[in-house]
Structure 1
Amino acid sequence: MRAARLIRMALLLQSSPGLTAAALAHELDVSERTVIRDVQALQEAGVPVRSERGRAGGYR
């Protein structure tokens, strides 16, 4: 289940860069905390995920 969610998250970030944790949580039907943990897991696996703070921030 988690592996499928991580793949879906990576695909979402490729197709829609700049998604916020809240938007990803809504799309994936998980909490924002789970999104943050999943982003960390992707980064540890070598997937280049950047985060930017502020009004125009989000994950890329």
Structure 2
Amino acid sequence: MSAEKKNKAKADQIKGKVKETVGRTLGDERLEAEGRAEQSKGDARHAAEKAKDAFRH
């Protein structure tokens, strides 16, 4: 997994977790949902990169 893509995936996961937490704290369901979606995007990106690495070795 390239370091740049790995960092992007991790950033999406962290940013999503922050948005979800802030949304839950403020009672903003839309922000909370955006956060969950962003986390999922980061998870999917991370999984895709791991799969690429598995085929390279």
Whose helix proportion is higher, 1 or 2?
A: 2
Report if TM-score (shorter chain) is over 0.5.
no
* Higher alpha-carbon Rg: 2
Relative to the length of structure 2, the TM-score reads 0.35
Whose strand proportion is higher, 1 or 2?
A: 1
